Structure formats: C-alpha cells, structure tokens
Structure 1
C-alpha cells in the first residue's frame, strides 16, 4: 500500500470498527445522561452533553444540601430522557438506515436479532419509570415552593 492510499479518507473509514446497534442502544439507555452514545457514534458536539451533565451535577452537589431536590438535578432529566428515546430509536432503526448513518462506507454490517429489540424494550420500560419519577419530582418541588402542600406530611 502506498503512502497516498494509507492517508486517504476512505481507508480511514474502512479501517474503523463498525458500530453496533446493541452497543449504541445500551450506552444511550444506561449512560445517555452524560452522552456516552454520542461519543461512541463520534458526534461532533458530544462534549457539550458531557459538560452540561458535569456542571449540573457539580451545582447539585455543591450548592444544595439535598442534592436530588434542586433545579440543577432536574436539568439532568433532559439528557437522560433523550438517551432513552435515542436508545429505542437506534435499536429499532432498520439495518440499512443504521449502517448508512452510523457505518458509512462499510456496506451492510448490521444484522438485527433479538438484541436490539430487547434493548428497545428496556429503554421504554426504564425510560417510562424515570420520566414518571421526573414529572412527580418537578410537581412536588413546584407545589412545595408555592406553598400548596403546607400542612401536608410527605
């Protein structure tokens, strides 16, 4: 192989390992709050999601005595819920579309089985539970802040 062939962009793309639907789905479901699936997919602004999560966690731990009962912690629900949605979307995406978006220039490398389906089910179940918890926490936080729960023992 000549120097020109080794440095061509096409050879760099073909030398990269193909991305897996199950890996993308699990990273989005379990670590989507810090943008792990964005890093895995090589998205351009993945560092913004990670920095947002780090700043929110820092503010939650540093400035509030109860870290889980403050607005900075509530902001973490945004990338977390986005991770659950993206987990289901990437897991249930057709193989052709997934390879075209995530594995360009590598041909057909994905072969869907039960793995992506199970990851999508996990994402929907955990995402629904976390979303309901987030909504409940925000409602209770607002009601306490407005004094609507004065006299009630939670």
Structure 2
C-alpha cells in the first residue's frame, strides 16, 4: 500500500529495508532522541520483527518513508501502542540525518495521521517527544499536534532522567 505526498511516499516496510533501518537506528544523531538502537544488522532483525508484530497483533502500522523521484529510503514512521478501547495510538518517526531539515516530516506526518483516523478508526493520536528534541517538537506543532504538557523526569535513558513533551491530535 503506497500513500503519496507531493514529494514522498509511504510504503510497507520490506525485508530489503533491513540495512537502511540499521543505518538509522545505529546512527548517533538519530538514536540521541530515539528509544532504541542497534549495533549490528543481526540485532536490527528484532526491529523488523517488531514492525511485523504490530500488524499481526493489530497494535499499529509503520511505513518506510521514501523519495518519490529516487525511491530512496529516507526513514520510517507510523503508529504503535494502539489501544482499541480508547481509539488511540502513538505516532513515531525518524529520518536518516542527511534528510533532516527538508520539511519531510511536515509532509508525511499528515498522511500517517490520516491513516490512523481513516483506516484504524482512531480518535486520538499521541506523540511523546524528549523535551530536549526541539526539532521534533517544532515538527509536531507544525503538523497540527497540540502541546499538552511535559512529564518531567518520567523515564531513564543512558543513566539519566529525561522529560517527555506530550502532543496530541484529535480526529475532527
């Protein structure tokens, strides 16, 4: 299933995406604000299985983000932690660093949100962003997410406490 924007498209994640997913989820700048990281292609297979399990369990869907002209893999994004009873899920995204600052997230996030509202029948999509990740916080605000507050020192990462800024968008 392809979802098109003006310059990019979202497609199912394929086994052949293992290497670029490893490149992203092992890159120091990507994992700085991301919840997981991998140190080998073999370890990254765990992430590939996680993508599959989301669909099998009905708890979400992630997509490869690709360039419409070149078909290059740019990153990944989607919805996870879907709670059917409350019709809500969490959005997550990451891009390979060479594609940062090009407005890609602002262009593809609305497609992911639309997928959640139309296909998954969600009422609410939440985004939990490390408070220090100002670029991602700006992207959330620019794509219609409302800042709801900050959970201070709510998680530990690399031996230190981090705060999470909470964003949400409701199905109109």
TM-score (norm 1): 0.32
As a proportion of its length, which structure holds more strand?
A: 2
| TM-score normalised by length of structure 2 | 0.29
Structure scoring higher RCO (CA < 8 A, sep ≥ 6) equals 1
Instruction: Work out which of the two has the higher radius of gyration on C-alpha atoms and give 1 or 2.
Output: 1
